[in-house]
Amino acid sequence: MNINSDTFRFTPANVRIVGAGLIGTSIGLALVQKGVYVEMVDLDLKSQSLATDLVGGGMNGEPSLVILALPSSNLDDVLQREFHLNPNSTFMDVGSVKTEVVLKVSKIPALAAQFVPTHPMAGREVGGAASARADLFLGRSWVITPMPTTDAKALATVEDLIALLGASAVTMSAQDHDAAVAKISHLPQIISSLLAGQLSGTKTDWMELAGQGLRDTTRIAGSDEKLWKEIIHSNRQILSGLLKNLNEDVIRMIESLDDPSEIEKILAKGRSGRELIPGKHGGKAREYSYLPIVIDDKPGQLAAIFNQCSLLDVNVEDLTIEHSPGQLSALITLALSAHDAQKLSDHLASIGWNVHPIRN
Amino acid sequence: MNINSDTFRFTPANVRIVGAGLIGTSIGLALVQKGVYVEMVDLDLKSQSLATDLVGGGMNGEPSLVILALPSSNLDDVLQREFHLNPNSTFMDVGSVKTEVVLKVSKIPALAAQFVPTHPMAGREVGGAASARADLFLGRSWVITPMPTTDAKALATVEDLIALLGASAVTMSAQDHDAAVAKISHLPQIISSLLAGQLSGTKTDWMELAGQGLRDTTRIAGSDEKLWKEIIHSNRQILSGLLKNLNEDVIRMIESLDDPSEIEKILAKGRSGRELIPGKHGGKAREYSYLPIVIDDKPGQLAAIFNQCSLLDVNVEDLTIEHSPGQLSALITLALSAHDAQKLSDHLASIGWNVHPIRN
């Protein structure tokens, strides 16, 4: 759900962000750009000072919203203290596992109406205020797992905040959230770390042969283990089942190594799984038609093609450009609906463009 | 080892490339830029036609070098035929597993002196001539696993070719090569596919929460299973041992889920392994500036932006389009030189576009 800016009613004027890490500081940066008064606080004074310098701003009265952007192990203490300091504020957290938080907050009845559990689906493998960026949440989903006790105004305040940061609020149960992130975030983190762990002791001259595949599959293995041990431990019950399934598949692969057709089946299952990751417009990756066009690598060529698209009322869903320094031609590939691809292909070919339609 | 261009003595004037896929066509693109005459051939005439259009060129006499850029299952037949057609040429392959090829070629004594087994450490998860790029090998390692029978002139020809493509020749035994790529390339491929396979049956609204971590770890799961089943099967003996090690570590993680300090140790081992991967080794890490622009998701918006790029003589190096579920706006991010990014950003902002320059 995306709230149109006309409908912002509860946009907080003063926001206190407790936790000056990547997420907290990124929220701060984005809010200040939108004219919200922001105060960054952190137990670590160096982090607080860096975040405050980066974000600028400063509050102008009592906080209407307190955002808790810190590891779940610190949440209890901080939450009690912040509630004591700001008894009339709305509170939200941004932690990666939600059932545990919901359980904790339910035990503080006075707070339960003002607290909104959330989780922005955004992050980087580098942490800290220094890695923060105002556009971290642009176009991302931001999960809200409301409690039965959460009141409507607190919820509306948080929804407004999410819209203000350019993200899309997605409401689901804490249980569903934790099962979903176990599969799409926590399991990939564990597997990336286990894979990277296999590199231990590898000769340097072998490592020098490493390519992009190894770099991509192990990128998130560079993440902070102190942060992740908490997330994995919090979600251990669901992860145990997922790791057992994966392990069965590892064993199946070992047993299939003598049989290329069995190997192919396992790899094909992986490719199908990969295709479930949404492309544009959400949902299952749409079936686009791809239209490759060889162009001269000079300014004006793309504009010329897009002008033809405009003339024909053709909507370009995505675009890749393949070219390299010194290469005189470039290949652009447009992702289009099947109908638009046909129309554009015929038209561009008729006026002399070097089009290479892929017929399926 | 990198050969200075002054020392090229055996640079082939005419190269016949058999196999118009990603690797073959990329070699063709790069060679034509260097003034080499190239002929692209493929059993599939559509691929051959696209590759020939992209590469341009055409041979000017007999090939001094024949490059076999095709799946190992087709290598036998094609090699025999090509050797019959061009008995005086040097031959090289570019396959991912080397012991098997060395064994095959050793059985054709007449050919064994002219054949050089090689493997460029470069590739993409997308295949085919359409994905080819001339800079694919720039700064990459290119392994040569010479046979005892390979003659010096054939070897020098191939070393010259590798230097000409901007890659670095690395000589090692076929056995060492196969052990190294098992760990740094084939194991990551299998693990990425197994991880992506776990997504099977996941609800669409859960998949919509997927972030960059899942996309990166499963990117190579999108690779062609027909190509990879051959590679994995060819290297099955080494892979079996590596998969058993991984299996033990998955079990250790399952058994550690109740103990955050044990989880931390496993993750820390992964982070150390990740740190063994050399830094920006490849020549492909270009320093672009990224300019995010929020646009309405309708025809004509891209054309309007590219027309402004044309007016300012700004060259767009790459472009991504991000679109969230249900959102009426889209985020496009242009990759530009730092100078062009600044110029375009200022200009677009001044005429009312919703530009989000990233402040570092």
pLDDT digits over A162-183, tens only?
999 989 999 999 999 999 999 9
The contacts found for B100-103 with CB under 8 angstroms, 24 or more apart, are B100/B72, B100/B234, B101/B72, B101/B75, B101/B174, B102/B145, B102/B147, B102/B174
Q: Report helix, strand and coil shares of chain B as percent, to nearest 5.
A: 50, 15, 35
User: In 3D, which of A307, A303, A286, A287 has the Cα closest to residue A295?
Assistant: A303
Instruction: Give φ, ψ of A292 to 5 degrees.
Output: -85, 135
pLDDT of residue A322: 67
Q: Which of A77-81, A313-317, B122-126 reaches the highest mean pLDDT? A: A77-81
User: What average pLDDT does range A92-112 have in this prediction?
Assistant: 92
CATH class of B9-173: alpha beta
* Domain-wise residue ranges, chain B: 9-173, 177-275, 289-355
Exposed, middle or buried by CB within 10 Å (0-12, 13-18, 19+), for B152?
Answer: exposed
| Distance separating alpha carbons of residues A16 and A91, to the nearest angstrom | 10
Number of neighbours of residue A135 by Cβ within 10 angstroms: 22
Is the pLDDT reported for residue A9 higher than 50? yes
Percent of chain B with pLDDT strictly greater than 90: 57
Is the pLDDT reported for residue B220 higher than 50? yes
Q: Mean pLDDT of all residues in chain A?
A: 87
Q: Which of A262-276, A325-339, B203-217, B248-262 has the lowest mean pLDDT?
A: A325-339
Q: Which residues in chain B have their CB less than 8 angstroms from residue A203's CB?
A: 180
pLDDT of residue B60: 80
User: In 3D, which of A197, A204, A108, A188 has the Cα closest to residue A150?
Assistant: A108
pLDDT of residue B10: 67
User: What average pLDDT does range B3-16 have in this prediction?
Assistant: 66
Is the pLDDT reported for residue B6 higher than 90? no
- Return the residue matching tokens 């997420």: A23
| Cα distances (angstroms) measured from residue A129 to each of A32, A136, B10, B360 | 15, 12, 55, 12
Nearest to A333 among B130, B314, B321 (CB): B130
pLDDT of residue A285: 46
Exposed, middle or buried by CB within 10 Å (0-12, 13-18, 19+), for A274?
Answer: buried
Q: Which of A60-64, A293-297, B244-248 reaches the highest mean pLDDT? A: B244-248
Q: Cβ B184–A196 below 8 Å, yes or no? A: no
Q: Cβ B193–A1 below 8 Å, yes or no? A: no
Show which of residues 81-110 on chain A sit within 8 Å of chain B, judged by CB atoms. Answer: none
What does the block give as tokens for A303?
Answer: 């504009």
User: What average pLDDT does range A273-299 have in this prediction?
Assistant: 71
| Per-residue pLDDT band at A208 (split at 50, 70, 90) | confident
User: In 3D, which of A92, A83, A114, A98 has the Cα closest to residue A24?
Assistant: A92
Number of neighbours of residue B54 by Cβ within 10 angstroms: 28
Q: Looking at per-residue confidence, does B12 or B334 come out higher?
A: B334
Is the pLDDT reported for residue B236 higher than 50? yes
Q: Cβ B213–A300 below 8 Å, yes or no? A: no
Percent of chain B with pLDDT strictly greater than 70: 91
Nearest-Cα distance to chain B for A179, in Å, is 9
| Distance separating alpha carbons of residues B84 and A276, to the nearest angstrom | 47
pLDDT of residue B324: 45
Using one digit for the tens of pLDDT, what is the confidence trace for B266-312?
999 999 999 999 863 333 334 678 887 878 767 788 889 989 998 99
CATH architecture for the domain at A177-275: Orthogonal Bundle (1.10)
Instruction: Answer whether A15's CB lies under 8 Å from A39's CB.
Output: yes
pLDDT of residue B2: 35
Is the pLDDT reported for residue B129 higher than 70? yes
| Distance separating alpha carbons of residues A322 and A294, to the nearest angstrom | 10
Instruction: Answer whether B144's CB lies under 8 Å from B158's CB.
Output: yes
Nearest-Cα distance to chain A for B302, in Å, is 7
> Which numeric CATH code is attached to A289-355?
3.30.70.260
Q: Cβ A196–B298 below 8 Å, yes or no? A: no
Show which of residues 311-330 on chain B sit within 8 Å of chain A, judged by CB atoms. Answer: 313-328, 330
> In the 8-state DSSP scheme, what is residue B183?
I
| Distance separating alpha carbons of residues A191 and B259, to the nearest angstrom | 18
> What residue in A sits closest to B269 (Cα-Cα)?
A197
Is the pLDDT reported for residue A280 higher than 80? no
Nearest to B264 among A226, A317, A319 (CB): A226
Which distant-in-sequence residues (6+ apart) come within 8 Å of B133 by Cβ? A322, A323, A324, A327, B26, B29
Nearest-Cα distance to chain A for B40, in Å, is 17
- Return the residue matching tokens 């081992």: B269
Q: Cβ B244–A254 below 8 Å, yes or no? A: yes
Q: Cβ B269–A200 below 8 Å, yes or no? A: yes
| Distance separating alpha carbons of residues A17 and A36, to the nearest angstrom | 12
| Distance separating alpha carbons of residues A250 and B204, to the nearest angstrom | 25
| Per-residue pLDDT band at A323 (split at 50, 70, 90) | low
User: In 3D, which of B258, B40, B299, B132 has the Cα closest to residue A320?
Assistant: B132
| Per-residue pLDDT band at A326 (split at 50, 70, 90) | low
DSSP for A39-64, written as a single string: EEE-SSHHHHHHHHHHH----SSS-S
Instruction: Answer whether B77's CB lies under 8 Å from B101's CB.
Output: no
Q: Which residues pair with A132 in a beta bridge?
A: none
Using one digit for the tens of pLDDT, what is the confidence trace for B76-102?
889 999 999 999 999 999 999 999 999
Mutant choice from A34, A191, A204 vs B, greatest count of B C-beta within 10 A: A191
> In the 8-state DSSP scheme, what is residue A222?
G
Nearest to B213 among A189, A271, A298 (CB): A189
Instruction: Answer whether A311's CB lies under 8 Å from A351's CB.
Output: no
In single-letter form, the type of residue at position A326 comes to G
Q: Check CB contact of B20 with chain A, cutoff 8 Å.
A: no
Show which of residues 247-306 on chain A sit within 8 Å of chain B, judged by CB atoms. Answer: 247, 249-251, 253-254, 257-261, 263-264, 266-278, 280-284, 292, 294, 298-300, 302-303, 306
User: What average pLDDT does range B205-217 have in this prediction?
Assistant: 91
Nearest-Cα distance to chain B for A216, in Å, is 5
| Per-residue pLDDT band at B133 (split at 50, 70, 90) | confident
| Per-residue pLDDT band at A128 (split at 50, 70, 90) | confident
pLDDT of residue B292: 79
Instruction: Answer whether A129's CB lies under 8 Å from A54's CB.
Output: yes
| Distance separating alpha carbons of residues A211 and A193, to the nearest angstrom | 17
- Cα four-point dihedral sign B317, A274, B192, B96: negative
Mutant choice from A322, A336, A359 vs B, greatest count of B C-beta within 10 A: A322
Compute the CA torsion angle B123, B124, B126, B130 (nearest 10 deg): -70
Using one digit for the tens of pLDDT, what is the confidence trace for A19-28?
999 999 999 9
Whats the size of chain A, residue-wise? 360
Q: What does DSSP say about strands B90-93 and A329-336: parallel, antiparallel, or unpaired?
A: unpaired
Is the pLDDT reported for residue A358 higher than 80? no
Q: Cβ B54–A242 below 8 Å, yes or no? A: no
pLDDT of residue A61: 85
Q: Check CB contact of A339 with chain B, cutoff 8 Å.
A: no
Mutant choice from A205, A231, A250, A262 vs B, greatest count of B C-beta within 10 A: A250
- Return the residue matching tokens 């405009």: A310
Is the pLDDT reported for residue A97 higher than 50? yes
Exposed, middle or buried by CB within 10 Å (0-12, 13-18, 19+), for B132?
Answer: buried
| Distance separating alpha carbons of residues B136 and B147, to the nearest angstrom | 26
What does the block give as tokens for B90?
Answer: 């040097």
Nearest to A303 among B253, B264, B310 (CB): B310
| Distance separating alpha carbons of residues A308 and A313, to the nearest angstrom | 8
Q: Cβ A274–B222 below 8 Å, yes or no? A: yes
CATH class of A5-172: alpha beta
pLDDT of residue B13: 86
| Per-residue pLDDT band at B328 (split at 50, 70, 90) | low
Q: Which residues in chain B have their CB less than 8 angstroms from residue A2's CB?
A: 324, 326-328
Q: Cβ A264–B302 below 8 Å, yes or no? A: no
What number of helices (H) and strands (E) belong to chain B? 15, 11
- Return the residue matching tokens 């998949």: B207
Is the pLDDT reported for residue A8 higher than 50? yes
Could you tell me how many CB contacts below 8 A there are between chain A and chain B?
457
Instruction: Give φ, ψ of A221 to 5 degrees.
Output: -65, -15
